[in-house]
Amino acid sequence: MLSSNMTVAECPLSPTKLGKLIAQRLDLDKPISARRVNEALVQAGLQIAERVTNSKGKTKIEYQLTERGEHHGRLQMETAQNHSKTVYIVRWFKSVITLIIDEFKN
């Protein structure tokens, strides 16, 4: 018998998925890009962007949660594409949408 107190954990979302959900809420024709979502998350003080250069000289942006962002997201381990190493990426709960949706209303 299942307890009525059991809850299902929310699956954290990528910026790409957040962009699709926000576009649906705003009745937009196209999803909002992950880049634009990440910019809005930085502007809202939920994450910081850091440029990092790898051993081959290639620069990329890595995101880190801020203290405020820890309430709406989490770091998740994933295997890097085309690599055999593990990386940490930021994923977000749906609660973050209400904090950044105004950035996309214009």
pLDDT digits (tens, 9 = 90+) for 61-89: 999 999 999 999 999 988 877 667 888 89
Number of domains in the chain: 1
- The answer as to whether 7 is a domain residue is no
- The answer as to whether 45 is a domain residue is yes
Tell me if the pTM is above 0.85.
no
How buried is residue 15: exposed, middle or buried, by Cβ count under 10 Å (0-12/13-18/19+)? buried
Q: Which domain holds residue 22?
A: 15-104
CB 92 within 8 A of CB 72: yes
- The answer as to whether 10 is a domain residue is no
- The answer as to whether 44 is a domain residue is yes
- The answer as to whether 8 is a domain residue is no
Per-residue pLDDT for 38 more than 90? yes
Per-residue pLDDT for 10 more than 90? no
- The answer as to whether 9 is a domain residue is no
The residue type of 27 is D
